[in-house]
């Protein structure tokens, strides 16, 4: 192949022998359309950001927060309620992902939000929801976080919730269940919740929720205790001890603990007013600070509320694929988080690998923006790594406390694909990033996302922590991205990289796949690991690579694409759902990235996968993807990154046309 460049926004390399009716010709045309679409989405400042869609608990809890603080207004309520209604399923429930089953806690919170909006309990859609909730065990069977929200308004008894004392803020880092044993997202949530649970506030409820209990006279029937010799029994008894401690705790000691918690919370507020760049800690931090006497006009509170408003996406009418009924006006959706750094580095890689010139103004502008986002101050990660200089990147616009290794790896790979006018600046930023990345390696040779060695077995066992992962152990996908980046930076023979490769090989499933922690699921894990292993020097004939190829070929759908349902995360359902599901653009892209890295460009599986991408592309160069392919917590919290459907198909098309090493090879040109 040779490459030529044209002028204009869609400038990209041209493959030789790509006739208009050949598969390469059709792939090239599809890539060109996708490039134009992606370039048009770039912000003037240089970044990309797609909507980050989760589930309606974000919208429900936003309304409950506003009700608790006394700032809920009619317009916000009306627009949020329209969105919540649009997501209700025909059986009256709400799911946590597109096409998923009804979820009890999500349905309860959505129902309460609609009651706040004025929907009558005898309305048909509300009756269906309430009847289903009762069938599933009522409020008593919901998760702890849902019952905390209900307790704020007297719909649940605080005494019937697990206890988390604020004094834990003082536990030293070597002590079991200190706050740094929790993953950063859980840590930021738990600290303010210890304040809320200590204060046990109750605001006057605007209505009753008796219809959500199986027996309103006995809403929380006793469920007994697990055997004392079991971990569940141990932590149940520990919780009873904490309830007893509450009654005898020194008031002066508790006041001091609450002051320490407040100081910890305020110190971690970001420049935009949010906490960690994610919605849940922001919501609980605002409630905690309000309970500690912070007025709504206090700068900390004003900034926090303003940040939450910035997480709102407004739709003027219904959206494609929404399951609910017709809408009569604008809707608002609350994002759990925003992903500009992640989206920007992935978009840069996609454009570069699709042949856009490395000095194209859009790529240079993206590189400038990413360089300005490097985190150069210490955050919570430094508690375990006090001597390590900073140098990573975070996921969001403002999150200097919690850079992550995953973003850092992909940003470096993206920067190296750009011919930037200030090479010294790029090299300096990359050196910092490589040093920080190597320093964040865990003892077992792999990487977690936000912390090193954040793998205590205890936090997940607490009765308080019954929803999602609360620790951040190493994962195959993050480790793979690190290995790929470090190999591209000439570190493939570094002892630390070889240890990581050995760890990845040990983590391969019997099937040939790898588990995907941050993307759904085995397709994401495998699509991440295979390119990394090849970049690290493993031959494509290596048994691990061949097993991965065989597995990907075995789960390819009849239409030529790949898809995997989130139910592959559900314990006991792995065999049934691993690599199985409706074909999606992003998951087809991931599978193709692995196959292309494994030298399978001319295989039938790759040909069918490329054909699927070409055939399903929209006229505007985009792909449709209502399915959720991103992972917050496996099974419990799922994400639809709206830009995934664009960047990963384009990356796959580019590597099909120009080879899997196109982007990293440009380092030598520079």
Give the residue numbers spanning the domain of 555. 23-50+339-455+471-669
Cα distances (angstroms) measured from residue 204 to each of 81, 208, 332: 21, 11, 26
- ∠ at Cα 617 (614, 619), nearest 5°? 120
Q: Are strands 630-633 and 52-53 parallel, antiparallel or unpaired?
A: unpaired
Same domain membership, residue 200 and residue 148: yes
Q: The CATH number of the domain where 27 resides is what?
A: 1.50.10.20
DSSP code for 515: -
Q: What share of the chain is helix, strand, coil (3-state, %, to 5)?
A: 50, 5, 45
pLDDT band at 19 (very low <50, low <70, confident <90, very high): low
The residues, ordered by sequence, that sit 6+ positions from 307 with a Cβ below 8 Å of its Cβ are 270, 272, 273, 274, 282
Structurally, the chain folds into a number of domains equal to: 2
| Active-site residue, from 406, 472, 477, 565 | 406
Same domain membership, residue 581 and residue 444: yes
pLDDT above 70 coverage of the chain, percent: 94
Mean of per-residue pLDDT scores for the chain? 92
Pure H helices in 17-71: 23-40, 57-69
> Residue 413, SS3?
helix
Same domain membership, residue 380 and residue 249: no
- 665 pLDDT more than 90: no
| Distance in angstroms between the alpha carbons of the first and the last residue of the chain | 20
Residue 406 appears among annotated catalytic residues: yes
- Nearest alpha carbon to residue 284 among 166, 400, 387, 374: 166
Q: Which region among 77-91, 118-132, 312-326, 432-446 has the lowest average model confidence (pLDDT)?
A: 312-326
Q: Which of 285, 307, 334 is the last residue of a domain?
A: 334
Same domain membership, residue 305 and residue 401: no
- Nearest alpha carbon to residue 627 among 642, 637, 646: 642
Q: Per-residue pLDDT averaged across 609-613, rounded?
A: 98
Q: Domain for residue 6, yes or no?
A: no
Same domain membership, residue 613 and residue 520: yes
pLDDT band at 661 (very low <50, low <70, confident <90, very high): low
Q: Which of 334, 364, 392 is the last residue of a domain?
A: 334
- 322 pLDDT more than 70: no
Same domain membership, residue 327 and residue 447: no
- Nearest alpha carbon to residue 450 among 502, 525, 399, 508: 399
Same domain membership, residue 189 and residue 249: yes
The residues, ordered by sequence, that sit 6+ positions from 428 with a Cβ below 8 Å of its Cβ are none
Give 379-406 pLDDT, tens digit per residue.
999 999 999 999 999 999 999 999 999 9
- Nearest alpha carbon to residue 100 among 627, 474, 659, 597: 627
Q: Domain for residue 596, yes or no?
A: yes
Same domain membership, residue 378 and residue 323: no
Give 226-244 pLDDT, tens digit per residue.
887 888 888 788 888 888 9
Same domain membership, residue 298 and residue 194: yes
Instruction: Please indicate whether residue 171 or residue 218 has the higher confidence score (pLDDT).
Output: 171
Q: Per-residue pLDDT averaged across 81-95, rounded?
A: 96
Give the phi and the psi of residue 501 in degrees, each rounded to 5. Answer: -65, -45
Per-residue model confidence (pLDDT) at position 20: 59
- 72 pLDDT more than 60: yes
Same domain membership, residue 652 and residue 535: yes
Contact 587, 605 (CB under 8 A): no
Structure-block tokens of residue 665 = 């090879």
- ∠ at Cα 97 (579, 611), nearest 5°? 45
Same domain membership, residue 122 and residue 34: no
Q: Which region among 129-133, 232-236, 621-625 has the lowest average model confidence (pLDDT)?
A: 232-236
Q: Domain for residue 460, yes or no?
A: no
pLDDT band at 18 (very low <50, low <70, confident <90, very high): low
Task: For the beta carbon of residue 267, count every other beta carbon within 10 angstroms.
Answer: 8
- 50 pLDDT more than 50: yes
Give the phi and the psi of residue 60 in degrees, each rounded to 5. Answer: -65, -45
Per-residue model confidence (pLDDT) at position 664: 44
Q: Domain for residue 175, yes or no?
A: yes
Structure-block tokens of residue 667 = 């380092």
By residue count, the chain amounts to: 670
Q: Domain for residue 328, yes or no?
A: yes
Give the phi and the psi of residue 614 in degrees, each rounded to 5. Answer: -65, -45
Cα distances (angstroms) measured from residue 505 to each of 195, 457, 502: 44, 23, 5
Q: Domain for residue 12, yes or no?
A: no
pLDDT band at 6 (very low <50, low <70, confident <90, very high): very low
- 115 pLDDT more than 90: yes
DSSP code for 660: T
- 562 pLDDT more than 50: yes
For residue 52, give the H/E element and its range: strand 52-53
Give 335-385 pLDDT, tens digit per residue.
999 999 999 999 999 999 999 999 999 999 999 999 999 999 999 999 999
Q: Which of 293, 315, 334 is the last residue of a domain?
A: 334
Q: Domain for residue 17, yes or no?
A: no
Same domain membership, residue 319 and residue 405: no
Q: Domain for residue 557, yes or no?
A: yes
């Amino acid at each position: 192949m040779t490459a030529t460049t044209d002028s204009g926004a869609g400038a990209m390399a041209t493959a030789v022998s790509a006739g208009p009716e050949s598969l390469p010709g059709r792939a090239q045309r599809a890539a060109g359309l996708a490039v134009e679409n992606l370039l048009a989405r770039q912000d003037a400042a240089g970044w990309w950001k797609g909507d980050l869609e989760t589930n309606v608990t974000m919208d429900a809890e936003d309304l409950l927060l506003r009700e608790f603080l006394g700032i809920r207004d009619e317009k916000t309520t009306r627009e949020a309620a329209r969105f919540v209604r649009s997501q209700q399923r025909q059986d009256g429930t709400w799911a946590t992902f597109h096409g998923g089953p009804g979820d009890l806690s999500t349905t309860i919170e959505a129902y309460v939000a609609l009651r706040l909006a004025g929907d009558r309990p005898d309305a048909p859609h509300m009756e269906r929801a309430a009847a289903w909730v009762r069938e599933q065990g009522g409020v008593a069977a919901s998760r702890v976080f849902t019952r905390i929200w209900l307790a704020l308004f007297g719909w649940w008894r605080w005494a019937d919730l697990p206890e988390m004392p604020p004094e834990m803020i003082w536990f030293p880092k070597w002590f079991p269940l200190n706050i740094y044993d929790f993953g950063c997202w859980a840590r930021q949530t738990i600290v303010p919740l210890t304040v809320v649970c200590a204060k046990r506030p109750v605001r006057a409820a605007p209505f009753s929720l008796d219809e959500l209990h199986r027996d309103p006279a006995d809403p929380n029937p006793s469920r007994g205790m697990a055997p004392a010799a079991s971990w569940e029994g141990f932590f149940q008894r520990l919780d009873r001890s904490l309830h007893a401690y509450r009654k005898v705790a020194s008031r002066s000691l508790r006041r001091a603990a609450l002051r320490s918690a407040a100081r910890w919370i305020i110190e971690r507020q970001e420049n935009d007013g949010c906490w960690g760049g994610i919605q849940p800690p922001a919501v609980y931090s605002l409630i905690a600070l309000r309970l500690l006497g912070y007025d709504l006009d206090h700068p900390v509170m004003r900034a926090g509320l303003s940040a939450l408003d910035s997480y709102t996406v407004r739709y003027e009418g219904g959206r494609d694929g929404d399951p609910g009924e017709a809408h009569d006006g604008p809707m608002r959706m609350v994002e759990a988080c925003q992903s500009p750094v992640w989206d920007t580095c992935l978009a840069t890689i996609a454009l570069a690998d699709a042949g856009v010139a490395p000095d194209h103004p859009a790529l240079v502008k993206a590189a400038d923006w990413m360089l300005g986002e490097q985190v150069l101050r210490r955050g919570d990660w430094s508690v375990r790594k006090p001597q390590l200089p900073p140098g990573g990147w975070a996921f969001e616009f403002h999150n200097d406390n919690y850079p992550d290794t995953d973003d850092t790896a992909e940003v470096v790979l993206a920067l190296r694909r750009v011919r930037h006018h200030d090479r010294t600046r790029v090299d300096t930023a990359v050196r910092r990033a490589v040093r920080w990345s190597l320093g964040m390696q865990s003892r077992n040779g792999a990487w977690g996302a936000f912390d090193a060695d954040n793998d205590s077995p205890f936090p997940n066992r607490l009765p308080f922590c019954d929803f999602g992962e609360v620790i951040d152990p190493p994962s195959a996908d993050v480790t793979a991205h690190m290995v790929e980046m470090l190999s591209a930076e000439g570190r493939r023979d570094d002892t630390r990289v070889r240890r990581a490769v050995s760890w990845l090989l040990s983590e391969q499933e019997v099937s040939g796949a790898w588990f995907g922690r941050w993307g759904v699921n085995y397709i994401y894990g495998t699509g991440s690991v295979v390119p990394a292993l090849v970049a690290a020097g493993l031959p494509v004939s290596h048994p691990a690579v061949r097993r991965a190829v065989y597995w990907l070929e075995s789960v390819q759908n009849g239409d030529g694409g790949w898809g995997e349902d989130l139910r592959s995360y559900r314990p006991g359902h792995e065999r049934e759902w691993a690599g199985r599901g409706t074909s999606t653009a992003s998951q087809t892209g991931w599978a193709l990235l692995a196959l292309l890295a494994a030298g399978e460009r001319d295989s039938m599986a790759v040909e069918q996968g490329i054909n699927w991408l070409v055939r399903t592309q929209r006229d505007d160069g985009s792909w449709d993807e209502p399915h959720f392919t991103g992972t917050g917590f496996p099974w419990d919290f799922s994400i639809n990154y709206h830009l995934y459907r664009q960047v990963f198909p384009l990356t796959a098309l580019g590597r099909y046309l120009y080879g899997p090493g196109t982007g990293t090879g440009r380092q030598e040109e520079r």
